[in-house]
Amino acid sequence: MRNMIFPAMEEFEPFPLHTLIPKRETGVDRFLAKHSKYDGSGVVIAIFDTGIDPSAEGLQKTVRGEPKILNLIDASGSGDVDTSHVCTGNDIFGLTGRRITVPKHWENPSGKWHVGMKAAHELFPKTLLTRLQSSYTEKWHMQQNFLVASAHRNLTEFDAKHSKDKLTQLSERLQREELQCRIDLLANPGYKSTDPGPVYDCVVFHDGEIWRAAIDTTQTGNFCMATLMTPYIYDRQYERFGDDDQMSYSINVYDEGNILSIVTSGGSHGTHVASITAAYFPDEPEKNGIAPGAQIVGIKIGDTRLSTMETAPSLIRAAVEAAELNVDLVNFSYGEACHWIDKGKVIDQFRMLIEKYNITFVSSAGNNGPCLSTIGCPGTNIASIIGVGALVSPDMMAGEYSLMKKKAATLYTWSSRGPVADGHLGVSICAPGGAITSVPRWTMKKEQLMNGTSMSCPSVSGTIALLLSALKTEKIKCLPAMIKRALENTAQPLAGCDKLSCGHGVVQVDKAYDYIVQNWSNNSPAINVDFQVTVVTGGGKMSRGVYLREMHETAKPSNHTVQIEPMFSKNADVSKKLLLDLHLALVSSESWILTPKHLALHNCARQFSIKVDPAGLSPGAHYAEVCAHDVSKCFQGALFRVPVTVIIPSRMSLNDPSVFEVEELDFQRKSVHRFFLHVPLDVTWAEIELVLRNQEGPSRVTVQTVQLPPLTSYSTKETYHTMKVDSNGPSSIIVPLTGGYMMELCCAQYWSDLSNGRASLKVTFRSLLPSTPSLKLHCGDCWARLDVKCNYRPEEIAPELKLTHYVLVKRPSDHVIKPLGERDMLLLNQERRYQLQLVYNFHVPKSGSEIRPISPLLCNFLYESPYTSQFWMLYSNQMKLICCGDAYPHQYSVKLDRGDYVVRLQVCHEKRTSLEGLKDMVLQIEMKLSSSVNVDLYSTMNDAMVSSNKWYSKKLAPNDVASIFVTTHFEDKLIKNYQPGDFMKGKLTLSKADKVKKEVHYPVQYVFSERAKKSSSKPTPANQTAATSQEYDKALKDLKLQYMKKKVLDVSELESEFGNDLDFLIAQVAYCVENCSYMPTMASVVSEVYSQVNVQEVLAYCGAKVDLSNGADEKQSQMEKAKKILVDTLLAEATVITREFDTVDFCSTETTPAPKHAGRLEEIYVTLHQLLDAKDTQLRSFRIQFARALKYHGILAKLLEDEAGELGPSRTRDEELMAIYSKLGWAHYSMSIRRWLLRNYPRDYQPF
């Protein structure tokens, strides 16, 4: 029997270390075995990503001992610190309020110290913050539990000594309340149990040669312990904030010391990508990246404030930095869906990197497959970018994923496919899309498995680095166009995978190298020439290929004009252009494309026509190319390709043209099944049903649908479901559709599913077609009508209209246009940029409201946007940064407390005039309603007008039409405090079926106009006459009393005139509050007020339940007036008395005797509690004064906490609470508030 505890070593199979970072699949192992010196040395790769941890294993040195990372840059701005505040001399205070001690050996000839502060939560990723918070909470609760036990013990001991029902003395009742409040405060710590994280002081200065900076990670203000750092490019310096976090950071300085950039990694993604590309492990070479000799520039484009989402400013800064640092290639494992092709300011900058600076650009295709046309930007937008798909090989399945058995190499299910909407292939090549390699230290992991086209992209980048290393050594000049052509022409086709999915195949570095060398040695005239392919179709539409997707496009043969223009690099020799003389053979890969046989091409654009004849093509996707070959140098392969994609729709059922059926999908034979169905104009949704056909069924099937309306990204009309298909019965989903456009339906067994399943497929078109795709109600229209037609089969209609959000439409309260700073001033074409800063103010009426700022003009456009920034920052009225957002508003929402808020929006452009037109641009503040508003619907106009006989449900036969009427009678259910132009939004559903209702709905808006005006309920009496002499005398008296309060008239001057007049006495009380202490004068005045107000009668009135006697209304009015006078006087008296306590530090540890009027203060306490409701704000204000004066710290803290919950944050209140908790001995509460003060009340707004 085998020893399973201590088996012999020879019993194990060696671990397949070569699968950790796959190299065999791309020929890297063969290439390095043959050319060991061409390991990437001499090549610099820019990694546009989430940032790189310089302390991660394998990222310290290259094969030749050079620094692995040449520079680290935060292009996102999330690490920026405003250091524009300048101090001079030796007495320096940081913006945290800490006194700063600067080491004497720091040389600062100017004597100017730029200071700033930065909170760790703005630098650390959420996963790291969560880990640190967990550790903090554990330590915090150790202190908390001790205090909770002590507080309960104190109350128990008090109750043991005093009967709870016999606490006759006010002091005893207050003592017990004090103890109870302490328990309540400990039971509900609120934000004090959460860690705001460290807040660091930062110092920047110029030593006469370069800018230097230091960060006080000790949070003491003593910089003697801080490391003085230079920008990373000079000395490769990096530090860690602390042992707990393990977060590495480096620095850069911009704008003459006014911006300190703290560079950190916003996620593990960037470090993993960099390690795949170029990690070097001298003692474990099997763990090396693809190009261990290459060097790296880490440029962070993922904004930590946005959970590492890229932004237009970060992308443009990255492009400028890459050009200035003269990198050789860019790895871009990022991307988003975009609405239109080949346009946008970011795209312009990326194109310039390639065409002007000769930088090879490699981009991930995206993880949005398996449908066609799901490739992301920028791979879709620039033909010269190398777009990379992701494959998984048998070795990877065994070594990385530990599968029980291997399958043939295949694309990952989620790998995005081409073509692009304009016909460009999109996916150039594919490479291994998974790796186990280094991640940042702050993850507490040494290595991690990650997969995605984000991983296949650096695999190709490393491959290109090997090529460039060889070519540089051999002095072969090879530009990006030639690199891409070499990779495509030598790629190895992936068995069972078409070009739309995996491009030209799996990259083969050794073959690509041989291809380039052969072309160079044969002095091929086209070796570094790119060829711009433009297809002109009907209507003058320009594209980069032919994509015939819709039914009308494939109904008959079509002719397309193709224009080919040679493109040389910006600094190409004139002789190269003059000598270009190509005799090309044009070859179509498929017989259904007709093309001319030859084309003579020189340094000018040439045109020819091709004819696409789809007749006879079977249903499905068909891809072909028109390839151009140099007839004298056939070894070059295709110099350019004209991609052609034709989609032929599947045939619907003969029995029912609204049904499509497939009897068997065999997932063992083919893992991806795609079908194209033309959606008639009157279809609104489809029901897709899968039924298992054998016992061993696929457990996980991806079902994706995509429609492509013009100028719309694939994600707009995309659905994605993962269905479990088993023996329990049919599995079905509902998919909303837009009539008139082709729908691709893709059913794919997940790549790692090893089952051999078969299933049947049924697609049924359904329809309840509204007369308009969206419903817009305006209160000025009073009513609206919607007609719904049933098509194909009977449906049950039960319309529901729900309003779910209230949208404030705000105009800016302020704006400014000014040039951007040093690092943002110029684009790659040397155009100067400007910024427009807009300020919006809004109020949140209810705590817990979920809000979302939306810029309707700019949102949902990033790469394709003509502007270079659309970044907004949401602040409290205390200037605390709450959240940020950019191009995609659906990603950014936040719950806010009741109060006032500010949104600051930055828009950038190179033309000032383009910004001038936006200075009054609206911003929408979308607020989610706590509960949706159900709007009544009616089947006839008569019912709608009288609000009767609401719509419920009705069965419709095909071709039946049902009418829906809605009026604005529901306004009483809506938001009250709206402004004209604000609106509510929601959705309309039609079907009664819950499954359909969830997926198929139509947008609804209700727009507010002018508010209804209410007439006065008290008309002016007809017999009203001019002011009487009594009114004149009263007005004159009020004026004199006002002047007395202002000390213009002396009290003694008016005393003889007014004597004991009650108004005069009340004014004297107010005068004493403002100007006096509790002296005999005020005591006598107060006494006289009480004598004129029957205190006992007022107290009796307040204690009475209901008075039904005659004249009760008049008596109530008199009593309310008397009550107000009494309350105001008592509060004024209390205010003056508590001033005697102001000289006493209520947080002092010394015992002081009670002031002489403490007893009177207690009497006022009792009386006010008899007069006022417990929730009355006047009573709470008095109780705060009372508790503060008599040092009831628990009661005072409880009252202040309650006030904060109602009125919102206040620095003064928080500072008092901090002192109270210190007095109570609750150090962890006090320290938490102290740390939160720095977060909650900054000195200024943060830089964009």
Sequence-ordered list of residues with C-beta below 8 angstroms from that of 116, at least 6 positions apart, any chain: 81, 82, 83, 84, 85, 95, 201, 202, 204, 260
Its sign, for the CA torsion 460, 382, 479, 546, is: positive
CA atoms within 13 A on the CB side of 319: 28
Q: Is 269 a catalytic residue?
A: yes
Q: Which residues of 720-758 are buried (b: 16+ CB within 10 A; e: fewer)?
A: beebebeeeeebebbbbbbbbbbbbbbbbbbbebebebb
Please spell the DSSP secondary structure of 749-780, one letter per residue.
E-TT-----EEEEEEEEE-EEESSSSEEEETT
Task: Name the nearest CA neighbour of 36 among 44, 25, 28.
Answer: 28
Tokens encoding 507: 């990259």
Nearest to 413 by CA among 368, 460, 365: 368
DSSP state of 1237: H
Q: Name residue 1192's amino acid.
A: Y
Q: Which of 364, 454, 767, 1232 is catalytic?
A: 454
Q: What is the DSSP string of 1040-1090?
A: HHHHHHTTSS-HHHHHHHHTT-HHHHHHHHHHHHHH--S-HHHHHHHHHHH
* Catalytic hit among 269, 339, 909, 1193: 269
454 is catalytic: yes
d(CA 963, CA 947): 16
Q: Which residues of 1043-1060 are buried (b: 16+ CB within 10 A; e: fewer)?
A: ebbeeeeebeebeeebee
Structure tokens at 1037: 């008296």
Distances (CA, A) of 1027 to 222, 532, 536, 1032, 1042: 72, 89, 86, 7, 21
Q: Are 1004 and 987 in contact (CB under 8 A)?
A: yes
CB 18, CB 286: distance < 8 Å:
yes
Dump the DSSP string for 1099-1111: HHHHH-S---STT
* H-run or E-run covering 298: strand 295-300
Instruction: For residue 1231, give the nearest of 1223, 1221, 1241 by alpha carbon.
Output: 1221
* C-alpha span between 1019 and 980 (Å, rounded): 28
841-875 burial code (b ≥16 CB/10 A, e <16)? ebebeeeebebbbbbeebbbbbbbbebbbbbbbbb
Smallest Cα–Cα separation from 238: which of 228, 247, 250?
250
User: What's the Cα-to-Cα distance from 887 to each of 311, 882, 1108, rounded to whole Å?
Assistant: 8, 18, 65
**Cα–Cα distance for residue pair 31/510, rounded to 1 Å:** 5
Q: Please identify which of the residues 39, 41, 49, 82 carries the catalytic annotation.
A: 49
Q: How many CA atoms lie within 13 A of 308 on its CB side?
A: 21
Residue 250 pairs in a beta bridge with 263
Residues 6+ apart with CB under 8 A from 876: 882, 899, 900, 901, 902, 1209, 1240
CB 365 within 8 A of CB 388: yes
DSSP state of 1210: -
Q: How far is CA 1103 from CA 1110, 1117, 1171, in A?
A: 19, 16, 8
- CA-to-CA distance for 142 and 163, rounded, in angstroms? 33
Find, among 537, 543, 315, 544, the residue nearest to 428 by Cα: 544
Measuring CA to CA, which residue among 40, 74, 47 is closest to residue 332?
47
Q: How many residues does the chain have?
A: 1248
Q: Which residues are catalytic?
A: 49, 269, 454
